């Protein structure tokens, strides 16, 4: 702001600028209000109501009853535990495989890096629903490729992937591990490239072993890049309804294969327990928000990720 | 490299190389295998769909599945539906995010921090949380079974991420450029539109890609909103083929391949930018 300008022009300038900002923001804000903010509060209202298929128009507020119902249902705790297992196992494998491949690829002698990179990105690039549906086909008991490989090459009995609860859950996890590691690999590759080579050379002079170099140079230098990616990964995985829903064909067998978000979907759109589903959504939201808040605060303190 | 090389150094290196390549090949095989299965099944003749053969190119490969898919099923109709929905979502996404992101990047105003935080919080929403209220709203508005309802939901889903993405990119463009333009007599709008907007092309491409993919690859919402087979988008149509394992498995495979190839190519070509955008968005709060 020029201090020498007369107050009146300054004021019109300031008004103009305000108007400009308003016009820039208006479309996005309007849309966000209509389809994010309003539905969010509407969801709160539904969660406090008895809305279901019989009371879709003549519903009334019944307080926190739905929340009590959710929290007192053993299924909820069972599925919460499953969701945590789902998230932890997936993210651990995503990061493990991703960093492992990135470190392999980052070695000087590896030829054809762009080509390897393309091959490894493939699972991420493929539309998620196609991945899930294709893996569902591959897990088919009689004709699926997985059982054929198991019986032909490992000479083991075929596995009932999609018809027993534990195996179906494992099938969903395997599918999701497959599609999730490329993201972490790509992030790790980017991180590795920013590590100065001199650090490794200095370590070589000191006679450090490969593992020591990994442990004391690579890991700490990758941390700042990986932490936000891992946070994202955890939220994405926790929220990934596609894979569970499509691999298990909507929770088969017998609604045993669910994580929390797929259970909300089931409750809302197959069982039409609207109030109950809305309350469950709110509970999941609080869990996720608390997690993200704590995780980001903790890592911010240790890694200095933020500005 | 250190000067003194111990005996066995070369052997160790060699072993390291062999092990590295072995793992790379193993994981490449794992990455490619499911895709190769889709190719295989799409090429099988109709009476051999339930084969237990593991050959990649079946002995009696045929394009029959593709012919049936394109001429005897509503596949092209679904393709049109998906393309239409995805393009509209892309246009609105880019238009809304590029402007809002600019305001957030360049101007301080009341509620700015709250807004940024709000956008971030939406990313913590359970995937299905807004779907229920939106579904009921659509029923009231008579927008169930319409593209408009679907487009609105998709745009809203993609918007917060796109705004963050654009904001993060604008932050890296020096503000001096606009100040110089304004001294030369440009209005704020001209400075944005003529100077900054073209410079933000990489971020715009990513925003477009992200919005397009959000719509093109979405199953769960479409499954609730669209009921009429005529209105199906590709994910709904392909799922329909897939769920009847016996008869239409080959159609599913052929369709998946047609649907995936363009987005996979696009994605791989642009992945470099996507990554820088993602990390930018999250690292440079």
One domain for residues B119 and B206? yes
- Whether a cis peptide bond, with omega within 30° of 0, leads into A253 is yes
Closest CA of chain B from A45, distance in Å: 9
If we measure between CA atoms, which residue out of A17, A221, A203, A3 comes closest to residue A99? A221
Residue A77 lies in a domain: yes
Domain end among B65, B92, B107: B65
Q: What is the pLDDT along chain A (307 residues), one digit of tens a residue?
A: 445 556 667 778 788 888 888 899 999 999 988 888 999 999 999 999 888 877 777 777 888 888 998 899 899 999 999 999 999 999 999 999 999 999 999 888 999 988 999 999 999 999 999 999 999 989 988 888 888 888 888 888 888 888 888 999 999 999 999 999 999 999 898 889 888 888 888 998 888 888 898 899 999 989 888 888 888 889 889 989 999 999 998 888 888 889 999 999 999 998 888 999 999 999 999 998 888 888 877 766 554 433 3
Residue A52 lies in a domain: no
CB atoms within 10 A of CB A146: 20
Closest CA of chain A from B78, distance in Å: 15
How many Å apart are CA B147 and CA B80, to the nearest integer?
12
If we measure between CA atoms, which residue out of A147, A279, A230, A156 comes closest to residue B126? A279
Cα angle vertex A229, ends B168, A166, to 5°? 140
Number of domains in chain B: 2
Residue B105 lies in a domain: yes
One domain for residues A43 and A75? no
B-chain residues near A182 (CB < 8 A): 31
ipTM for the assembly: 0.85
One domain for residues A139 and A29? no
Per-residue pLDDT at B52: 66
Q: Specify burial of residue B8 (Cβ count, 10 A radius: 0-12, 13-18, 19+).
A: exposed
Helix (H) or strand (E) holding B40: helix B9-42
Q: Which of B133, B160, B234 to mutate to test the interface with A (most CBs of A within 10 A)?
A: B133
Cβ-Cβ contacts under 8 Å for A200 (sequence gap 6 or more): A213, A217
Which structural domain, as residue segments, surrounds residue A230?
67-303
Closest CA of chain A from B156, distance in Å: 6
One domain for residues B31 and B59? yes
Phi then psi dihedrals of residue A61, to 5 deg: -75, 130
A-chain residues near B258 (CB < 8 A): none
Residue A294 lies in a domain: yes
Q: Specify burial of residue A133 (Cβ count, 10 A radius: 0-12, 13-18, 19+).
A: buried
Q: Which of A116, A125, A183, A304 to mutate to test the interface with B (most CBs of B within 10 A)?
A: A125
**Residues within 8 A of B (CB atoms), A 64-93 only:** none
Residue A222 lies in a domain: yes
Residue B283 pLDDT class (50, 70, 90 cuts) = very low
One domain for residues B139 and B54? no
Residue B2 lies in a domain: no
- CA A58 to chain CA mean position, Å: 37
Q: Chain B contact for A100, CB < 8 A?
A: yes
- Interchain pair B35, A126: CB under 8 A: yes
In this prediction, residues B217-235 reach a mean pLDDT of 91
- Interchain pair A229, B278: CB under 8 A: yes
**Residues within 8 A of A (CB atoms), B 209-268 only:** 213, 216-220, 223-224, 235, 238-239, 242-243, 245, 249, 252, 256, 259-260, 263-264, 267-268
Residue A38 lies in a domain: yes
- Interchain pair B159, A31: CB under 8 A: yes
Tens of pLDDT, residues B118-175: 888 888 888 788 999 999 899 889 889 999 999 988 988 889 889 988 998 898 888 8
Residue B115 lies in a domain: yes
One domain for residues A131 and A227? yes
Q: Residues in chain A, how many? A: 307
One domain for residues A233 and A97? yes
- Here the CATH number for the domain that contains residue A156 is 1.10.3720.10
Residue B3 lies in a domain: no
Q: Specify burial of residue A13 (Cβ count, 10 A radius: 0-12, 13-18, 19+).
A: middle
How many Å apart are CA A159 and CA A167, to the nearest integer?
8
Q: Mean pLDDT, chain B, as a whole number?
A: 85
Cα nearest neighbour of A116 on chain B: B28
Q: Residue B285: pLDDT above 50?
A: no
Cβ-Cβ contacts under 8 Å for B7 (sequence gap 6 or more): none
If we measure between CA atoms, which residue out of B277, B94, B278, B88 comes closest to residue B197? B94
pTM above 0.95, yes or no: no
Which structural domain, as residue segments, surrounds residue B88?
73-283
Cβ-Cβ contacts under 8 Å for A218 (sequence gap 6 or more): A103, A192, A195
> Of A31, A127, A145, which has the smallest distance from its Cβ to B217's Cβ?
A127
One domain for residues A42 and A137? no
């Amino acid at each position: 702001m020029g201090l020498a300008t007369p107050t009146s022009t300054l004021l019109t300038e300031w008004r103009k600028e305000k108007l400009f900002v308003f016009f820039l923001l208006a479309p996005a804000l309007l849309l966000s209000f209509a389809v994010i903010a309003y539905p969010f509060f509407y969801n709160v209202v539904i969660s406090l109501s008895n809305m279901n298929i019989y009371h879709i128009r003549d519903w009334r507020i019944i307080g926190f009853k739905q929340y009590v119902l959710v929290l007192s249902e053993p299924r909820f705790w069972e599925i919460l535990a499953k969701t945590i297992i789902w998230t932890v196992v997936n993210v651990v494998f995503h990061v493990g495989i991703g960093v492992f491949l990135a470190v392999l690829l980052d070695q000087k002698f590896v030829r054809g890096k762009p080509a390897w990179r393309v091959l490894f990105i493939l699972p991420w690039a493929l539309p998620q629903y196609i991945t899930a549906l294709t893996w569902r086909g591959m897990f088919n008991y009689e004709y699926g490729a997985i059982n054929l490989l198991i019986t032909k090459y490992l000479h083991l009995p075929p596995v009932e992937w999609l018809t027993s609860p534990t195996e179906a859950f494992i099938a969903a996890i395997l599918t999701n591990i497959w599609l999730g590691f490329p993201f972490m690999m790509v992030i790790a590759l980017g991180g590795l490239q920013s590590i100065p080579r001199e650090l490794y050379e200095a370590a070589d002079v000191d006679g450090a072993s490969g593992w020591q170099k990994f442990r004391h140079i690579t890991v700490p230098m990758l941390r700042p890049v990986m932490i936000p990616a891992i946070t994202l990964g955890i939220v994405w995985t926790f929220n990934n309804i596609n894979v569970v829903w499509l691999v298990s064909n909507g929770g088969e067998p017998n609604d045993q294969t669910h994580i929390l978000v797929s259970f909300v979907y089931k409750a809302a759109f197959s069982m039409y327990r609207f109030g109950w589903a809305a309350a469950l959504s709110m509970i999941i939201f609080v869990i996720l928000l608390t997690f993200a808040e704590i995780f980001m605060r903790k890592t911010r303190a240790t890694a200095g990720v933020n500005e | 490299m250190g000067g003194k090389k111990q005996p066995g150094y070369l052997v160790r290196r060699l072993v390291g190389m062999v092990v590295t390549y072995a793992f790379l090949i193993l994981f490449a095989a794992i990455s490619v295998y499911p895709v190769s299965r889709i190719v295989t099944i799409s090429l099988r003749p109709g009476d051999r769909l339930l084969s237990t053969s593991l050959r990649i190119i079946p002995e009696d490969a045929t394009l029959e599945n593709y012919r049936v898919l394109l001429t005897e099923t509503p596949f092209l109709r679904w393709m049109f539906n998906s393309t239409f929905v995805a393009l509209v979502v892309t246009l609105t996404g880019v238009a809304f995010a590029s402007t809002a992101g600019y305001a957030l990047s360049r101007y301080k105003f009341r509620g700015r921090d709250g807004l940024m935080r709000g956008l971030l919080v939406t990313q913590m929403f359970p995937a299905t949380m807004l779907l229920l209220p939106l579904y009921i709203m659509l029923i009231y508005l008579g927008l169930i079974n319409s593209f408009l309802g679907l487009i609105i939901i998709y745009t809203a889903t993609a918007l917060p991420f796109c705004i963050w993405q654009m904001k993060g990119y604008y932050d890296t463009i020096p503000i001096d450029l606009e100040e110089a333009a304004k001294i030369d007599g440009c209005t704020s709008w001209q400075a944005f539109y003529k100077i900054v907007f073209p410079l933000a092309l990489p971020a715009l491409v990513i925003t477009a890609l992200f919005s397009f993919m959000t719509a093109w690859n979405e199953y769960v919402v479409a499954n609730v909103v669209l009921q009429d087979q005529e209105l199906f988008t590709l994910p709904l149509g392909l799922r329909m083929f897939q769920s009847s394992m016996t008869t239409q498995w080959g159609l599913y495979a052929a369709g998946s391949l047609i649907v995936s190839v363009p987005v996979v190519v696009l994605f791989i070509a642009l992945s470099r930018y996507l990554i820088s955008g993602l990390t930018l968005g999250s690292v440079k709060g």
